[in-house]
Amino acid sequence: MKICILPGDGIGPEIVAEAVRVLRVLRALQLDCELEEGLLGGCAVDATGEPYPEATQRLAQQADAVLLGAVGGPQWDSLPRAQRPERGLLGIRQQLGLFANLRPAILYPELAGASTLKPEVVAGLDMLIVRELTGDIYFGQPRGIETRVVDGRPQRFAFNTMHYSEDEIRRILRVAFAAARKRRRKLCSVDKMNVLETTQLWRDVANETAAEYPDVELSHLLVDNAAMQLVRNPSQFDVLVTGNMFGDILSDEAAMLTGSIGMLPSASLDANNKGLYEPCHGSAPDIAGRGVANPLATILSAAMMLRYTFAQEDAARRIEDAVRKVLADGYRTADIYQPGTRKVGTRAMGDAVLAALTGVKE
């Protein structure tokens, strides 16, 4: 199993280091994996002038899976658009054909108090958001900002294009139906079919695809209602599937339900389950270099990698159980800390997970 490791910027190197330690321990125990590190994002711009340099492209293409920290930071925000770290991220997603983004949102009972919602509202939350990642208004052409004469005077005019083909919709729907099949067999498809033709097609294709999965119950919600339902009664959801832009927004909303964005892993898959695995959060420049970032989202991303790309369900469960154990034992990084628990930094949280994995006391 070839794994390409891209620590990225900000807290990326700190949190990825802990996930790599977890993979190394599993390698010592059972896992046959080869890890190779590369540059992506701002660190790559600094070293090569490109956010997704050729050497990284080769590494990522040859690997079976990629583990990424996060990219970006204020020092690169004024660069030309093509050189921005985020371009590297879009570039790797597009080049690897990663069209399916899977984000579980699970409320660990120990962290119920860290959610901004009342504990009784978030209790039992265990959902998976499946977001289409390579289409929609984020990639649609034409796009741009140009000066046009409007009402007799020149004005700046901006435009983007939202589009989906039925094939693009069907393949993401199939990923979502298949995921629902492995869970509670409920799939909610989110669109805005009352206003947008693109999502009318989305709903039609969802209904057509449902015929292939008679054992999964399909429902539909308009995106505005879905945003409300996520804060009103989030545990009603099992799997939620939606397009790129709605998914971007709803998955961050779901992230907050769980208390900390530092707890949320993600997977982005191609048609053959090759995947890029990364935490849902960004590079957190405000806390970078201080050793306080929560590494659990990245460690849980490594677990998703073992599950989805390498079909190593046991190893994935071992990591997830170790994370549950450290939470039950009271270990907390600052973002999830509550009085009465034990505040630890990034490295000590990694140590606790390793100890739980190997059964060795620190």
Q: Which residues are catalytic?
A: 138, 192, 224, 248, 252
131 binds ligand NAD (CB under 6 A): no
Longest dimension (CA), the chain: 75
Among left, alpha and beta (phi > 0; psi -120 to 50; other), residue 262 is alpha
Which is nearer to ligand NAD, 189 or 283 (by Cβ)? Answer: 283
Is residue 285 helix, strand or coil? coil
**Contact window for ligand NAD (CB under 6 A) among 26-34, 126-134, 171-179, 290-298:** 290-298
294 binds ligand NAD (CB under 6 A): yes
Which is nearer to ligand NAD, 124 or 289 (by Cβ)? Answer: 289
Which is nearer to ligand NAD, 16 or 193 (by Cβ)? Answer: 16
From 293, 315, 349, 354, residue interacting with ligand NAD (rule: CB under 6 A): 293
Which is nearer to ligand NAD, 103 or 192 (by Cβ)? Answer: 103
Q: Using CA atoms, how far apart are residues 222 and 352, in angstroms rounded to an integer? A: 42
**Dihedrals φ, ψ of 329, to 5°?**
-80, 0
Map the footprint of ligand NAD across residues 84-113, applying CB under 6 A.
86, 89
Closest approach, Cβ 256 to ligand NAD, in A, equals: 10
**Contact window for ligand NAD (CB under 6 A) among 152-160, 195-203, 228-236, 280-288:** 280-288
Size of residue set near ligand NAD by CB under 6 A: 22
Q: Using CA atoms, how far apart are residues 336 and 346, in angstroms rounded to an integer? A: 12
From 140, 285, 291, 345, residue interacting with ligand NAD (rule: CB under 6 A): 285
Which is nearer to ligand NAD, 96 or 218 (by Cβ)? Answer: 96
Is residue 322 helix, strand or coil? helix
Q: Which tokens sit at 342? A: 């034990």
Map the footprint of ligand NAD across residues 173-192, applying CB under 6 A.
none
Closest approach, Cβ 14 to ligand NAD, in A, equals: 9
72 binds ligand NAD (CB under 6 A): yes
| DSSP secondary structure string for all residues of 228-284 | HHHHH-GGG-SEEEE-HHHHHHHHHHHHHHTS-GGG-EEEEE-TTS-EEEEESS---
Closest approach, Cβ 49 to ligand NAD, in A, equals: 19
**Contact window for ligand NAD (CB under 6 A) among 64-72, 124-132, 156-164, 310-318:** 64-72
* C-beta separation of 34 from 83 below 8 A: no
From 135, 259, 262, 275, residue interacting with ligand NAD (rule: CB under 6 A): 262
Closest approach, Cβ 350 to ligand NAD, in A, equals: 12
From 65, 276, 287, 356, residue interacting with ligand NAD (rule: CB under 6 A): 287
* C-beta separation of 100 from 134 below 8 A: no
What residue type is assigned to position 131 of the chain? R
Closest approach, Cβ 4 to ligand NAD, in A, equals: 15
Map the footprint of ligand NAD across residues 15-34, applying CB under 6 A.
15
Measuring CA to CA, which residue among 319, 310, 301 is closest to residue 63?
Answer: 310
Site string for ligand NAD, 197-236 (x = CB under 6 A): ----------------------------------------
* C-beta separation of 361 from 145 below 8 A: no
Q: Using CA atoms, how far apart are residues 44 and 50, in angstroms rounded to an integer? A: 6
Q: Which tokens sit at 287? A: 């806390």
What residue type is assigned to position 77 of the chain? D
What residues pair up with 150 in beta bridges, in sequence order?
153
DSSP 8-class letter at 289: T
Closest approach, Cβ 349 to ligand NAD, in A, equals: 10
Q: Which strands, in side-by-side order, build the sheet including 217-222?
A: 34-37, 2-8, 65-70, 275-279, 265-269, 100-106, 126-132, 239-242, 186-191, 217-222
Closest approach, Cβ 295 to ligand NAD, in A, equals: 7
Q: Which residues bind ligand NAD (CB under 6 A)?
A: 11, 15, 70-73, 86, 89, 261-262, 278, 281-287, 293-294, 297, 335
